[in-house]
Each structure stands twice: as structure tokens, then as C-alpha cells.
Amino acid sequence: MNTLTRLPLTAQAVVDSPLGPLRLAATAHGLAGCWFNDQAHHPGELDAPENPRDRFIAQARSELDRYWHDAVGTRFMVRLDPQGTTFQRAVWQALRAIPAGRTLSYGDLARQLGKPLAMRAVGAAVGRNPLGIIVPCHRVLGSDGSLTGYAGGLHRKVDLLGREGRPMPLAA
């Protein structure tokens, strides 16, 4: 059972994006999830009413709409309520500090967190990010600058980085 199935979710909604539908989920405290329908670690069915007018969902949708038109200039300000371990939340917070158009390696991120030998643990936390795009895990690359996994699919990672002024070729 994943963490979100035990959460008191207050609302969910599916919103369109240029990269496919996104499911947004909120608690009373903030946005708890933003997933592509076909991505890895998608929580599946959520026990929450459909409510696109929920304040956190509406704000996230508005900010995502701005992002699709100006990825570099958009700052996500919606209050977040990601569910994870203390370590995961620290990694997700560090991801939010990576500016659009910039990238870091998993090793860089581990060093920033004061855990230089925890590259695999950092990678696992990045992969479990429940707030893709808003918490920009797509900005993390391999130590050699290469594309690495992305729960939403590498084609989406390439698109997101390109929107942010960091074009990356999709390996054949």
C-alpha cells in the first residue's frame, strides 16, 4: 500500500498538459501529487472526490498552464504536502532549489544534502517524487551529464528540459 492511499486526500482532478493528462491530488494542507497517468510509481486509484475547483488544485493548474507557456519564468508557489520519509522530503526540497534551465547530477545533489555517498538513495528519492514538474526531478542528470531515468518517461524529461532552455537529445 502506498502512502497516498492512507492519506486524507480532499480532492483530485485530471488536467490536460502538452505531455498527456496529469492527475493532481490535494490534502487539506497542500498539493500532494502530480503524476502523468502512465508514469512509474503512480499511486493508482485515489480515494478522493473529483474537485477541480479545490484551491490547491486550481492554483497548481493555473501555475502549470503558465509553465507550459513560459517554463523558465514560472515559479510554482502552490503550497505542497508531499508524503514521504524525512530523507525523501529533504531531497524533494533540494530539487525545488534547482533553477529552470539548470541541472545537477545525483552526486551533486547528495553532496548538497551533506551525504556524498548517498547517490543511490538520492536517486531513489528523486524517482519517488510525487510532484513531478512542480518539484523538478527532471533537472537531475547522470554524473556525465547524460539522461537518466524519469518516472514520467525519458521523452517527457527531454521535453521539459528543452522547454527550460536545456535541450537534450533522446538517446536512440
Report pLDDT digits (tens) over 101-149.
Answer: 999 999 999 999 999 999 999 999 999 999 999 999 999 999 898 898 8
Report pLDDT digits (tens) over 151-160.
Answer: 999 999 999 9
Report pLDDT digits (tens) over 6-48.
Answer: 568 999 999 999 999 999 999 999 999 999 999 999 998 999 9
CB 100 within 8 A of CB 133: no
Give 34's strand partners. 24, 131
With 0-12 CB in 10 A as exposed, 13-18 as middle and 19+ as buried, what is 37? exposed
Q: How many CB atoms are closer than 10 A to CB 112?
A: 16
Residues known to be catalytic: 137
CB 142 within 8 A of CB 148: yes
